[in-house]
Amino acid sequence: MEVNRRVGVAVDFSACSKKALKWALDNVVRDGDHLIILSVLPEGHYEEGEMQLWETTGSPLIPLSEFSDPIISKKYGVKPDAETLDIVNCVARQKDIVVVMKVYWGDAREKICEAIDNIPLSCLVIGNRGLGKIKRAILGSVSNYVVNNGSCPVTVVKNAEESGK
């Protein structure tokens, strides 16, 4: 059994990413694991904050206590919602795990695959927005790209509400 696993969960604070986070916590994360919350923000010109320092490599690993602080999360341009923070704070108390966040700026597909290799992650859980065939062909599916190009096991949690199931 692998010790000190680094379980990644890609989170954009949408309903499907919260579902993926909950699924990972219920089915994958064990005592002693490191839960790495990955958030990828679009590229852009950021005038202030930590983003300018870390836009190429992504942020340092941000401890749960810091990314729960609105002032610190604002420095990175991240706006975690109360429900997501409640979920991870609760599980951090219940299980013996370390929770950290890493923020990237750019194309989510590329940055998530980069995170898998650079952190490195033992496995990754990602939500599926449930795009239709046309939108998926135009926009591309982040989860599909990561499944096909990621170098660790990737689990895609489907959003049942959007897929009609």
In a domain, 1, yes or no: no
In a domain, 151, yes or no: yes
Cα-based distances in Å from 76 to 67, 89, 102, 149:
9, 19, 10, 27
What tens digit of pLDDT does each residue of 12-29 get? Answer: 998 889 999 999 999 999
Domain ranges, residue 132: 6-163
In a domain, 112, yes or no: yes
In a domain, 63, yes or no: yes
Q: What is the CATH number of the domain that holds 27?
A: 3.40.50.620
Q: What is the mean pLDDT of the chain?
A: 85
The total number of structural domains in the chain stands at: 1
What tens digit of pLDDT does each residue of 99-140 get? Answer: 999 999 989 999 999 999 999 999 999 998 755 555 545 445
In a domain, 150, yes or no: yes
Cβ neighbourhood burial of 36 (10 Å; 0-12, 13-18, 19+): buried
Bridge partners of 35, per DSSP, are 7, 99
What tens digit of pLDDT does each residue of 54-78 get? Answer: 778 899 999 999 999 998 888 888 8
What is the spatial distance between Cα 7 and Cα 139, in angstroms, rounded to a whole number?
27
